[in-house]
Structures are given as structure tokens and as C-alpha cells.
Chains A and B, each alone.
Chain A
Amino acid sequence: MAATLRRRLLRLTLGGAALALLGARTAHGGSPRVIRVVARRFAYQPGEIELKAGERVVIELESLDFVHGISIPDLDKRIDLVPGRITRLELQPQTPGEIEFLCDNFCGAGHEQMHGRFIVRA
């Protein structure tokens, strides 16, 4: 219950953090910074991604070896990462802090260690 409440509060705090599967074009001109992330057993590379509050970015995810997932519980979002396919998601966090993500498709002995985080700077 407490964890759920914390998640909801964080979601509210993140407020304008926008996350969408692309194709979606950015709403307000300019090209967002593109950050490529590779998923392979049992890590994301890079595992820590620094963002600026208010900055629009596109995360391009590619899995090399398994249908990994990326789950971002604070944003209540998850996506399957199919090998051979680039999966794009747009992110525009408004508030400094950390947003954790993890693989939520069981992928083997190191699955529990496959996680990362966005570090949002002011």
C-alpha cells in the first residue's frame, strides 16, 4: 500500500514527464537529443542516463539477445524490446530526481541485476 502511494506521489511529482512511443513527433519544434541504449543479458548500456529537467529526449533501445523488457514503474510504463527492432520512447522529465527502470521479462540468472536509472538534473 505504502509503495503504491509512493509511486502515485512520485508520478504526480514528475508531473509533466512525458513518455510516448515514437513515431510521435515532438510537440514543440526542435529535435530532441537521441540517446541510444543497448539491452543485453544482463545489463542496459548505459545503465545510468543523465537528463536535464525539461529536456526532451528520445531513448532508442535495442536488444541484442532476448526480448527484454523496460519497465519504468514510476511512470507506469513498460515496453518489450524485440531483438532486431529499435524501440523509441520520448521522455521529458520536468523535475530533478531519479527514475528507475528494469527488465521485467525474466531473462536468466542475472535478470534480477538488470536495471538502470535516469538521473534528472536541474
Chain B
Amino acid sequence: MDRRHFLNLAAVGGGAVYASALAGCADVGAQGMAQGTSHAEPDFYFVQLSDVHWGYQGAANPDAAVTLRKTVATVNALPTQPDFVFFTGDLTHTTDDPVERRRRLGEFKTIVADLKVKTVRFMPGEHDAALDRGAAYQELFGDTHYAFDHKGVHFIVLDNVSDPGAKIGDEQLAWLGADLDKRDRKAPVVVLTHRPLFDLAPKWDWATRDGAQALALLMPHENVTVFYGHIHQEHHQMTGHIAHHSAKSLMFPLPAPGSQPSRAPLPWDASAPYKGLGFREVEAADTGKAYRISEHPVVRA
């Protein structure tokens, strides 16, 4: 049987509660979605992949050259294909060489072109964009921040990495505010970003310097969910009624926030290849007011 972890979320009316329910699972729910008891039928689902770090070479993943290709094959083998796939940054591992940066981004793009899903969306991580303020990324992938709508849910992609100081910046914050002003405050909003918008672990640089300003703009909206990457592991946290869910990496896992002095990659386990790596399905239900998250390994047993 598949190992599936479910997390249900309904950030409705500020009434979200946290409850630990199923073994190995965390449930966050409200209005009939609590504790995994009454799951609405999904409206759609998407796949989140994150922190691919294409170009990384090191002991933390001796299988680095093929991990992404295996993941693409696993996504393609899902019994029902998602509505779209979203990569939440660090598509590539950083390099000082602008030519090599473009080569890595190009190779990554070529590999993920094998995904069956027609709609694949991207955003940069600091490894892709911080050293040239997003220049190479924009040449190959386009805008670093944008918005789109899908089946009644408004998705906002925030760039908190092109500034090497992990700032969203005044211009983008103004854009975010203007975008949100056009929305009904009850309408579902999903924010996709690379770094956590809240201060998860400032000692490990796991934060966004002006993330509090983005959250202040989002707070008046009743149904907001944030999916992000950067920390190479699942993490689920509420700031007020806003839920934040980080995703696993597809290159190497990192330790739990603040659990050790250094944020060095966890060592590769030869007895359990790809341990700690994977991707997730996100099922939207109740017109985008509830989400079920299912974690998938890189390869199926």
C-alpha cells in the first residue's frame, strides 16, 4: 500500500484549528474537514516539486545525475495526471559562472519537458537567481513573480530570492497589494514562494526579510494557503489563519529547523536511497478552501 500522508486544510473564516489525527499525519481543518473525517471531493489537484538543485555534485546525493529523471517518470506514472505541475524554486544548484548557470537551467528545462502534464510552471530559488538578480532565469523561464487563476483559486507567485538579501522588495509588495485589492476577501488565494514568508529559523537564514509585510497584506483575506520550498523537508505552520506548507527536496534533505548547529545536508543513506526526498500532490476541494497533501517518494517501491 502506498505510504500517504494527508494534511487537510480549511483556512475558513479564521476558524482553522490544529489537530493531530491519523498516525504520521497532521490534520488542520475546520467546517467539516477536521481530523480527516469528512473529505470533500477534490476540485483539482496539482503537483509541487521543489529544490531540484540540478548541477549539484556531492556526497549528499551520489545519484544526483538521475534523481530528477526518475522523479519525472514517477510523476508521469501517477494514475491521474495533475492539472498542473509547479516547481517552487532552486531548479539548479548555484554557480558563479553565468554560462554554466544557463547551461544548468537549460538542461533542467529539457529534462522536465518530458513531463506528460502540459502545464508546468516555475519560480526561481536563490540558487537560480540571487547571484544575477534573476537575469538568466528570466531568459529561460520568464517572470519571477506573477499570478494566475485555476478553477476558482487565485495563485500568486512571489519572488523572495532574486534579491540576494531575501527581500520581496517594495515594488513587488506594491504589485501584491494591488493584486489582492482586486480580490474578494473570501476568495481562495494560494501563494507559491521559495523561502518561508515567516521567520522559521533566522539563524539558518530560513526567512524572508520583508516577509511580514507580505503576510500583513494577505491577512485580511480569509482563505490563504502558502506552499514553499527552500528548507528541503515537510514543515507545516500557521501564522494566524494562514497555513504554510514546505516541500521536500529532490536532491538532499536538510535537518529540522534549528535541530543542530549547522544546516548541512543530511547524509545519503545507501540502504534507503532517496530517503527524505520526494514530491507532493495537493488536492483542492471546497472551491479551493481545503487542501489535502499527499507525499510521494522519488521512486515507487
Contacts and interface: CB of A to CB of B under 8 A. Distances in A.
A109 B203 contact: no
Interface stretch (B89-97, B149-157, B177-185): B89-97
Give me the 7 closest cross-chain CB pairs, A-B, nearest first. A106-B130, A73-B202, A106-B126, A106-B164, A105-B164, A105-B165, A73-B203
Interface of A: 1, 3-4, 7, 67, 69, 71, 73, 80, 100, 102-109, 111-113, 115
Tell me the dominant secondary structure on chain B's binding face. Answer: loop
Nearest to A1: B237
A112 B262 CA distance: 8
Interface string B200-212: 1111110001000
Contact of A3 (B96, B161, B165, B201): B201
Nearest to A112: B263
A3 B257 contact: yes
Contacts of A1: 237
Interface in B214-273: 237, 257-258, 262-264
A118 to B, nearest CB: 13
A78 to B, nearest CB: 8
B202 to A, nearest CB: 4
Contacts of A100: 203
Contacts of B199: 3-4
Given A3-B200, A4-B199, A106-B166, A113 B262 contact: yes
